Structures are given as structure tokens and as C-alpha cells.
A and B are shown apart, each in its own frame.
Chain A
């Protein structure tokens, strides 16, 4: 569903993505991991067309992202730090996005109910806590039943209950055969969710493997332990 070929991106002299080539198919739940500043968010933003790669091409469902914007209908995006217009309320934001999309599809308002956001519709965005803002972001990402879900640090800042609700939601969507891309540092949280793992470091993709293969290689049955083992073996030592 997503084909990334030879994508480079530099901000001035700083090289953020270095010849990144990846491909993701439907039904996969991919975790993008790596140390801070390794280019995960830049990669995600390139897929969304928010960051324009220096060269290389990205295709979503066979469509070049640089040529058409319609592909974004298929993507639900939950940013790491959601930034919303200060003076709008939760209700206005959700109403506005609905109006702009004018989607004929049935809306998926499960999260809206489960996060109890409807009770806070009149609250302006600037008064919200980080966690509540994340809830709004999550709701918007799932709202239009997209085929691809891109979640940047979805559970960071959410309380355990909300985090559990979100994980259950991701699980149900995964079973519907959607492609789910997650970046996270909390590996233990991902254990029962993910099927594939991409490890990035300094803008390079170090590996892209199915979880089963990884577990076999390291002889561990937990992802977090498998990764830790790999790191300890100095194969992919993070440079700080």
C-alpha cells in the first residue's frame, strides 16, 4: 500500500533521511522504532506530504504523493504533538473537519464516545491538557474509516485507561485488514499489536523484519527483549 523508494531529506546540512526504501502492505501493523531524532517523524510527514523529500518517490496505493493530494483521504494521521487553533472548541474542530471532508462514508465515532469527548465539546483547545489533545487527535485519525492509519507516539501522554481503549481500537482496525504504522518508544506496549518492525538510526533503515523472524533470531519471545538483545550485541548501537 505504501512504497517508499530511495527517499532523501536534509534540513540544511543535516541529513535526516538517507536513501530510505520501505514497503508496507495491507493487514500489516508496523512499528517504527529508533532513537530520538532518527527521522521517524520526518518519514511519516513525508508520507503525508507535510515534508517534501529532497528526492526519491513515495507512492500510496500506487499514487505518487507529490502529484495528487486525494490519497490523503485514505490516511488517518495522529500527530505526536497535535497543534490546533487555540480559539476553537473540540466540537468546532470536529465539525470543521467533517465539513471539509464531506465524506459520504459512515463515520467511525467510537473513540468520540469512549473518550467521553462529547461532554467536553464546548472546551476551547487551548485549555486542554496534553492527554485530552491526544484524544482529539486519535478521534480525528479514526473518524473517516481510513485504510491506512499513521500514529505518531499514540499512547504518549494518555492515561492507562485511554491508552487501553486506543490499543483495543487499533487491534479492531488491524483485524479489518488496514495498514497501521506506529512509532513508539514504549516497546512493551506494542507486543501484542505489531507484525513488522522497522528500526531506524541516523536517517538509515537498519532493518525491516517481521516480528516472528526477529523473535526467532534472538530466541526471545518479547519484542522489547529481542530489541534490547540486538542493541546489546552492538549490532545497532545508538549514537547519542
Chain B
């Protein structure tokens, strides 16, 4: 870990938001598991809560943090530190803090109550989703100089992936119900990191049977080792692509 990253992590930890986030996650997780005696039901409840809150907190906190560190970035830029390193350190610092919060808050109860492949998958997916939305935050904060606009873009992207996207997919499904679109649906679904995460978990719990024919097709694809690997590759792309775009823009930015 380089020195710039160290200073950023220390700065983020001084910020109480990450602690509150950790606390919130652990109250939710421990709460859900201790109320529900069936751990599968617990996982399902937790899945929905986590898929809403984790992306939201990751994207909003990171966007605001990036805007607030404009002074810090300016100070570092006049020092002999390459731009790429500053941006990368910010990314590592934010990702590390949010992953740490997720691991302590939700990861530990998951490992305690469901020490099987479902629990592990959930943990892994949560970590990936956190990183994906940090990356999206980098993209939205570099898109505009205006803080309000940047946060707006971040919220819109979250809203789109968390809620609107499913609506659109449902709409498509109903409109094209007469056609064999199940395979296409797999392609479309993988465009949304949150949906991808949800499917990965659902297929590991035996509730996919309730999802009908589409569920069967999904299981056929996402249930295989290849499908899982491919899903993680796509999630990984969701991390790399927005971050790389933001890095290219940051390198050309005038401060």
C-alpha cells in the first residue's frame, strides 16, 4: 500500500459515515439472522436489503468524498506525484474502506450463520457490488465539475440499476412474451451488475424453481461453472470500465 493510499484511508476512517455504515449493516445482518431461524430465508431477506443499501451507500459516499477531496487532489498535484497514482490511490482508499465496512458489518454474520457456499457467494457478491459502485462513483464525479450535478448523476445511475432497470426488463418480457427471448434476457440481465448479483445468489438457493421456465434457462446458464465465471468477469468489467474512463478524463483535467 503506498503512502498516498494510507493517508486517504486514515482520512476516510476519521469520517464517521463509514463507521455508521458498518454499524447499520451489522445491525441488519445480525438482526435478520437472529429473527429468522431458517438461514435461507434470512439470506433472501438480507439479499434484498443489501442489494439496495450497499450500492447506494457506496456510490453516494464515494462521489461526495471525491468532490470534497478536490483540495487534497490539488495539493498533491503540485508535488512530484503522477496523476494516475493520485486517482488510483483514491480508488484503493475508498474501495478498501467500503469493503472493510461490508466485511465487518455483513460478512462476519454471514460467515457465522451460513458457513456454506451460499454465504460465501453472498459475501463475494457484496464485495464485488461495493467495488462496482465505487467505480461508477468515479465515473460520475469526473463527468462534471458541479458537485450537485455529479451527485445527481450518481443517484440516477443507482436508481436506474436498482429499480428502473427491472421495470424495463419486465416491460420487455410482457411485450415480447410470444417470442423465445429467454436467451436474450440472459444477455440483457448481465448489463446490470445488481441483477447479476441477485441471480448469482438466487440460483445458489433453491428458489430458482419458482422462477419458471426463465428460471430454468437462467439456471442452465448461470448455474454452470462457466456461467459463474462469466458473471464474475462481467462484474469485473463493471469495475474496470467506469474507472478507466474516469482515469482517462482525470489525466486530461485542468485544475
Contacts and interface: CB of A to CB of B under 8 A. Distances in A.
A and B together in one complex: yes
B177 interface: no
Given A69-B80, A72-B79, A77-B78, A51 B255 contact: yes
A79 interface: yes
Contacts of B78: 48, 50, 72, 75, 77, 79
A138 to B, nearest CB: 13
Contact of B71 (A48, A51, A72, A83): A83
A100 B77 contact: no
Contacts of A51: 254-255
Contact of B79 (A52, A84, A86, A100): A100
A11 B79 contact: no
Nearest to B2: A100
Interface size class of chain B, counting residues whose CB lies under 8 Å from the partner chain: 20 to 34
Contact of A100 (B3, B68, B69): B3
Interface in B65-111: 68-72, 74-83
B77 A83 contact: no
Nearest to A93: B75
B69 A85 contact: yes
Contact of B252 (A52, A79, A97, A101): A52
Given A50-B255, A87-B14, A99-B3, A73 B80 contact: yes
Interface string A69-83: 111110101010001
Scoring B7, B14, B69, B78 by chain A CB atoms within 10 A of each residue's CB, the highest score goes to B78
B4 interface: yes
A215 B31 CA distance: 81
Given A70-B80, A100-B3, A101-B80, A84 B252 contact: no
Nearest to A75: B78
Nearest to B71: A83
Interface string A118-151: 0000000000000000000000000000000000
Scoring B70, B252, B254 by chain A CB atoms within 10 A of each residue's CB, the highest score goes to B254
Contact of A50 (B4, B77, B80, B82): B77
A97 B3 CA distance: 10
B178 interface: no
B37 interface: no
A88 B83 CA distance: 22
A196 interface: no
A38 to B, nearest CB: 17
B206 interface: no
Contacts of A93: 75
Scoring A11, A69, A75, A93 by chain B CB atoms within 10 A of each residue's CB, the highest score goes to A69
A107 interface: no
A19 interface: no
A13 to B, nearest CB: 15
A96 B75 CA distance: 11
5 contacts: A50-B254, A69-B80, A83-B74, A84-B71, A101-B80
> Can you list the 5 inter-chain pairs with the closest CB atoms, starting with the nearest?
A72-B80, A83-B71, A73-B80, A51-B254, A69-B82
